[in-house]
Chains A and B, each alone.
Chain A
Amino acid sequence: MRIKALFQRLREQKRPALVAYITAGDPSPDRTADLVAALERGGVDLVELGVPFSDPIADGPVIQSASERALAAGTSVASVLEIAEQIRTRSEIPLLLFSYLNPILRFGVDALAREAKRRGIDGCLLTDLSVEEADKTVEAIRAAGLDTVFLASPTSPQRRLELVAKYSTGFVYLVSRTGVTGERQNIEASLETLVRNMRQATDAPLAVGFGISTPEQAAEVGRLADGVVVGSAFVRVIEQNLHSSDLEAKLEAFARSLSKALHGVAA
């Protein structure tokens, strides 16, 4: 229930959540817990731990490269679970497991849900699991006491937004624009419509991601949504400092620049 509690607390504080995506195991599995700690120090409220996948069709080049680095470093679903456990020994930050479906199927959905819960993960988002195919998976994940978060997109008609809302607990993840993950110059005007339509379908918190990379963009989106997801921009900081002892400090500083921009911004 860490996710629910987080959004309740932030609603009282009248500020949106800063959500960070990083690929677990990038640059190596033994670094990830420290990177998450740095993100938390910088003001990140929720972390999406990405499970690396060989064929990440929804991701742009930055996260594709992160996946390749993580896999080359030997990262597996089992090691992502271990990473979560390490994080949990020293932090209560909500953790969302973010994965393509196949590694989870291979691990076994029931086993994954059980293990994820045991290690301190709070919810799962499976990128290529459509709501149409989700019944059994959602049942297993919820039975273990985890949240299930689904994506909604500017292309989703109202009927689909309602389905996505129905299958989501904790929050709903709105994709700000069509396309793959990656930084962009502008936030699209269609986002406002998507947020408005989704609010009609659910009272759950709405987090918005894809393409948000600067404090200004974060603030702009934060005025509309309950959470702002930044992924590729964090992963790029990791990519640019792979061998630098300053990596944690730089991640923390970047997180701080984003979280500052979200203070005093209320949806």
Chain B
Amino acid sequence: MTGTEKPGAPAGVAAQPDAGGHFGPYGGRFVPETLMAPIEALEAAYLEAKADPAFQAELDDLLTHYAGRPTPLYYARRLSESLGGAKIYLKREDLLHTGAHKINNCLGQVLLARRMGKTRVIAETGAGQHGVATATVCALFGMECVVYMGEEDMRRQRLNVFRMRLLGARVCGVASGSRTLKDAISEAMRDWVTNISTTHYLLGSALGSHPYPMMVRDFHRVIGVEARRQILEAEDRLPDAIYACVGGGSNAIGIFHPFLEDTAVKLIGIEAGGQGANLGEHAARFSGGSPGVLHGAFSYLLQNDDGQISLTHSVSAGLDYAMIGPEHAYLHDQHRAEYTSIGDEEALEAARRLARTEGIIPALESSHAVAEAIRRAPRAKGEIHIVNLSGRGDKDIDIYRENFVELDAQGPDYAH
């Protein structure tokens, strides 16, 4: 959140929500009354912190010296040349401490929690990246940390469960519903409403009740601010397209937002296409969903005809969620950003391709964005594209092993 350039948007597309946290008709505050006063207090504390140069300075210092910002904007020459079209740059959020962009928001919010006098931090996690980042900042600031995680995700992301525990966090498995991110958020909200006096809920995506979508976005804007500066330095012009995967949408809104005003820059969000187009087989909220209320906000949502929230599927736990962040819903309706989806198989293949052409193993979430770039780049000769490589693939090694069994065969390679 370096505040050096002004936030902005073309005429007709608002860069900020209204006072009630609405992006057009989306967002807002849909929570039980018990949470309203704490949410108002959080908003007041955030706005005060945002205007406080000391808060900004401490955050910037941590982002630089602890998290490892700025992250490189790397020209992926071999990948680009193999596709024979656009020049593809990677915004290397995967190189950040803890392995994903999530740390940007966690550092911001933990400073805010400390400022509000909270001693306990809770979080939800899907892929475990946000849980790890939360456990990390809690260790750094000596705060008690409890992370809620669906049992299905705990199975899929065992390595991250262990990392969180090693960092001193308690990981609470959630056995209700689909046992994934949505259930972890519900459980975290139940904890928060019970322990509001001591506890800050460190929500990890641009979701939930106002001020979370705005605040989480603000903490991730640094991605887009850096990328904008870096591409101007490297190419002396703005990119033609930016790709980012969208679960809740935090890495996407972080890189999109500083480009809202640059209407020639195509903003492309990639949802999880999973294994098919039927409800329950994917997490593509725009093509398969409709607006509704979940977890504190009004936005596009996968639901059945009776308003019950659908189960979702993605090979990537971080994209496996029924709702998209409200600002994305707004950018979608305003046609300022475009949203598409990539299925499990194509994402896996994109990961392998990036590993083999660039020596970079991406997180499965980010692989969805890489895959869309692979689709489009060949037809975009002369263009410049940026992929937000939001996380690295270490946490997904077990899933890659399951899916690339031929690489996991026993015996030394030279014997073949």
CB distance from B329 to the nearest CB of A (A): 14
Are B38 and A155 interface neighbours, CB within 8 A? yes
Bound: A54/B306 CA distance, A: 11
The reply to whether B193 and A180 contact each other, CB–CB distance below 8 Å, is yes
Task: Tell whether, in the assembled complex, residue A57 and residue B308 are in contact, meaning their CB atoms are under 8 Å apart.
Answer: no
Q: Mark A67-78, 1 if CB is under 8 A from B, else 0.
A: 010010000111
A139 at interface (Cβ–Cβ under 8 A)? no
At the interface, yes or no: B357 with Cβ under 8 Å from chain A? no
Using a Cβ cutoff of 8 Å, how many contacts connect chains A and B? 122
Bound-state Cα–Cα, A179 to B189, Å = 10
Are A54 and B33 in contact (CB-based, < 8 A)?
no
Interface size class of B (residues with CB under 8 A): 35 or more
Given the known inter-chain contacts A178-B196, A179-B193, please indicate yes or no for A104 contacting B307, CB distance below 8 A: yes
Query: What does the 1/0 interface line of B279-323 toward A look like (CB < 8 Å)?
Result: 000000000000011111000010101111100000000000000
Tell me which residues from 114 to 172 in chain A have a Cβ below 8 Å from any Cβ of chain B: 127-133, 150-157, 160, 164
A151, B32: Cβ atoms under 8 Å?
A: yes
Q: Is the pair B189, A54 in contact by a Cβ cutoff of 8 Å?
A: no
CA A150 – CA B36 in complex, angstroms?
13
Encoded as 1 (CB less than 8 Å from any A CB) or 0, chain B from 191 to 214 comes to 001111100000000000000000
Q: Does the CB pair B190–A103 fall under 8 Å?
A: no
Instruction: Report which residue of A53, A55, A76, A152 has the largest number of chain B beta carbons within 10 angstroms of its beta carbon.
Output: A55
- Give A12 to B383 CA distance when docked, in angstroms: 79
Interface string of B237-274 (1 = CB under 8 A from A): 00000000000000000000000000000000000000
Q: Which of A53, A71, A105, A132 contacts B29 (CB 8 A)?
A: A132
B177: interface (CB < 8 Å)? yes
What bracket does the count of chain A residues touching chain B fall in? 35 or more
Is B186 on the interface with A (CB-CB < 8 A)? yes
Q: Tell me if A133 and B30 are in contact (CB < 8 A).
A: yes
Is there contact, CB below 8 Å, between A55 and B295?
A: yes
Looking at A59, A60, A102, A179, which has the most chain B CB atoms within 10 Å of its CB? A102
From residue A200, how far is it (CB to closest CB) to chain B in Å? 17
**Pairwise interchain contact A128-B293, C-beta atoms closer than 8 A:** yes
B4-34 with Cβ < 8 A to chain A: 20, 28-34
B120 to chain A, nearest CB (A): 14
Known A-B contacts A55-B182, A60-B190; the reply to A129 vs B30 at CB < 8 A is: yes
Asked if A175 contacts B33 (CB within 8 A), the reply is yes
With a cutoff of 8 Å between Cβ atoms, the chain A residues found around residue B177 in the complex are 54-55
Q: Does A106 contact B (CB under 8 A)?
A: yes
A242 CB–B CB distance under 8 Å:
no
Docked Cα-Cα span, A237 to B35, in Å, equals 29
Q: Is the CB of B306 within 8 A of A178?
A: no
Interface residues of A in 66-123 (CB under 8 A from B): 68, 71, 76-78, 100-107
Cβ of A64 under 8 Å from chain B: yes
Q: Given A54-B177, A77-B307, A132-B20 in contact, is the A127-B196 Cβ separation under 8 Å?
A: no
5 pairs of A and B residues whose beta carbons are closest in the complex? A106-B307, A103-B307, A179-B194, A153-B34, A151-B33
Which B residues are closer than 8 A to A by beta carbons?
20, 28-38, 176-177, 182-183, 186, 189-190, 193-197, 292-296, 301, 303, 305-309
**A-B contacts, 20 listed (Cβ < 8 Å):** A54-B309, A55-B294, A57-B189, A57-B193, A58-B190, A71-B308, A101-B30, A104-B307, A105-B293, A133-B20, A155-B196, A160-B37, A164-B33, A175-B32, A175-B34, A178-B34, A178-B196, A179-B194, A180-B193, A180-B194
* Additional A-B contacts beyond A55-B183, A129-B30 (11; CB < 8 A): A55-B177, A55-B309, A58-B190, A60-B190, A105-B293, A133-B20, A153-B32, A156-B36, A156-B37, A178-B194, A179-B194
